[in-house]
Amino acid sequence: MVELDDRFSDEAKMLARLASKASMEAVRAAWARGLSVTVLEDGKIVSIAPDGTRTFVKELEPL
């Protein structure tokens, strides 16, 4: 889960927790339907299949 420090309001902290929970639920639902999900990991776009297989898609240019 996301942990935010005291620079953020309680509302921002709650929104971050809810967004994280919703994202995890969406991933589980996609995998339950046999669908892959696409994520960003260390500047790389990666597709993750329900069986855990990771497929490299593209490396992003640094900003």
The domain tally of the chain equals 2
Question: Domain check: are 60 and 38 in the same one?
Answer: yes
Range of the domain at 41: 34-63
CA distances from 26 to 7, 9, 40, 49 (A): 29, 26, 16, 14
Question: Domain check: are 43 and 54 in the same one?
Answer: yes
Residue 2: predicted pLDDT: 55
Question: Domain check: are 28 and 39 in the same one?
Answer: no
Question: Domain check: are 4 and 21 in the same one?
Answer: yes
Q: What averages of pLDDT result for each successive group of 10 residues across the chain (63 residues)?
A: 71 90 97 97 96 97 86
Question: Domain check: are 28 and 40 in the same one?
Answer: no
Given a contact cutoff of 8 angstroms between Cβ atoms, the answer to whether 30 and 42 are in contact is no
Cα 24 versus chain centre, distance: 7
Nearest-Å Rg of the Cα atoms of the chain is 15
Question: Domain check: are 21 and 45 in the same one?
Answer: no
Question: Domain check: are 28 and 41 in the same one?
Answer: no
